[in-house]
Structure 1
Amino acid sequence: MSSENPPPKVTTAKPAPTTVGPTTGERAVLWAGFPVLGAVALWLISRAAGWVASLPWAPLQGPFKLVASAPEPLVSIIALAVGLLLGAGLALLADLEYVTAEIGPERAVLTVDKVTRTAPRAATAAVFQDGKNLVLLGHDTAELARVHGDFDTKRFAAAFEQHGYPWHPDGDPHAADFRRWVTGQPDLSTTEHTLLQARARALKKNEKADAEQLRAELATLGLVVREDKQKGQHWRRVRATQDRPGAQPESR
């Protein structure tokens, strides 16, 4: 009797995660350009110090007179050095604004300003750009992640689509559900109004950390909140489900 060997099992390898973010060239331009521009700008200001000091209506007369009276090449050396340092500081701040991501078949890991958020692929129902924000929504329409920063929309869209995420090129599929917040709306609770009022004050004072913390507190109550260019707040309720997977900051 002859025995037949069972057919070999076919295993399909999952695609490797895609890393997306600023290119090496973009970062090189950033880190080279800002310090050079800072050095040139401060050197030009030092060259014009004597002229500015001669204008009776010009502000900061004392500092400009001090610079104009200092000997060369000391003034130029100091101006170039300080300009380089200021430019490097601006480059660092700009670099922190870049959004980077590792997008794979099981999860998307998003990082900006040293804060990391993770959204499971199975829990993600929509991905889209909202101004300078990259937003991932769950199946209950709650936000799994909202990261604010600089990112190349086409590269991020391609990476998400490559791994089967539902990218929405036209933006938020639930945009029509948002309502502008005003005090006294009867379909909001006292607690929700209180948090929205506190967030309005934080936005007015440009207190970003407080505004984001209050956004998270409103999310626990089932409210999705965003603001317009005039810092007016708009809200909508999430759909009620028993399972609401979310994404929390992992590390700073």
Structure 2
Amino acid sequence: MVAMTEDPSTRTVGGFDRAGRTWVLALFGVGGVAVGAILPPLARWAAELPWVPFEGPIRLLGSFDDAWLVWGRPVLGLAAGLAFAAWVVVSSAVLEIGPGQIQVRRRGQVERVIERGTVAAVYPRGAKVVIETESGRKVLEDDVEGDKAAIRGAFVDQGYPWEGPLK
């Protein structure tokens, strides 16, 4: 693991804050419960349509209607939704932006170190942050969660060449 010197000017951006984690877990949890509850009735209905492909597997999904599955499907959907939400939260990129380098962290470990001298441009592209070299090679193009103004501010405060909206 590469260690960044403890520079007080280093700024950390990205990842989910507590409210964001709660929102993602709730959203995917509720979505999983909904899918678990409506999947068999929806599959039975879809299997009756003449133009729907994969009639056999769809009929199989529609047959999961035992008494224990009435409550079991939503519980399984909740578990799957929460597992997927946890994966989304832990896989989110966190950037530690210092005057000499940028560390990209995922799952608590340094995934990539980008030296300051290689950075020619930093700009937003949708929800992604893109970092390019002088030759135009993208050394980072990744979703970075959080306040876009704070992300921009972290790069600008460290002197990185931000190209994009001033918001």
One fold, TM greater than 0.5? yes
Aligned CA-pair RMSD: 3.1
Return the match for 2:25 from 10, 19, 31.
31
Count of residues paired in the alignment:
151
One-letter code aligned to 1:16 = S
Identify the residue that residue 163 of structure 1 maps to in structure 2: 158
1:115-150 alpha-carbon deviations (Å, 9 max, x no partner): 722122244332112345422233x33436223224
List runs of 5+ in structure 2 lacking aligned partners.
Answer: 1-6
Q: 1:102 touches 1:110 (CA, 8 Å); kept in 2?
A: yes
Instruction: Return the offset for 1:167.
Output: 0.8
Return the match for 2:60 from 52, 59, 62.
62
Alignment of 1:118-129 (within 5 A): 118-129=113-124
Identify the residue that residue 76 of structure 2 maps to in structure 1: 82
Secondary structure (helix, strand or coil) at the match of 1:151 reads coil
- 2:102 is aligned with 1:104: no
Q: Percent identity?
A: 21
List runs of 5+ in structure 1 lacking aligned partners.
Answer: 1-13, 171-252
In the alignment, the residues of structure 2 paired with residue 45 and residue 16 of structure 1 have an alpha-carbon distance, to the nearest angstrom, of 51
Alignment of 1:127-166 (within 5 A): 127-138=122-133, 140-143=134-137, 145-152=139-146, 153-166=148-161
Shift >6 Å, 4+ stretches: none
Change (3 A) 1:122 1:55: closer
One-letter code aligned to 1:18 = R
The structure with more helix, counted as a fraction of residues: 2
Alignment of 1:1-252 (within 5 A): 15-21=8-14, 22-46=16-40, 48=41, 52=45, 55=48, 57=50, 59=55, 60-64=58-62, 66-68=63-65, 70-71=66-67, 74-96=68-90, 98-112=92-106, 116-138=111-133, 140-143=134-137, 145-152=139-146, 153-169=148-164
Q: 1:112 touches 1:148 (CA, 8 Å); kept in 2?
A: no
One-letter code aligned to 1:31 = L
In the alignment, the residues of structure 2 paired with residue 15 and residue 136 of structure 1 have an alpha-carbon distance, to the nearest angstrom, of 23
Q: Work out which structure has the larger RCO, using CA pairs closer than 8 Å and 6 or more positions apart in sequence.
A: 2
In the alignment, the residues of structure 1 paired with residue 22 and residue 152 of structure 2 have an alpha-carbon distance, to the nearest angstrom, of 24
Secondary structure (helix, strand or coil) at the match of 1:32 reads helix
Change (3 A) 1:53 1:75: farther
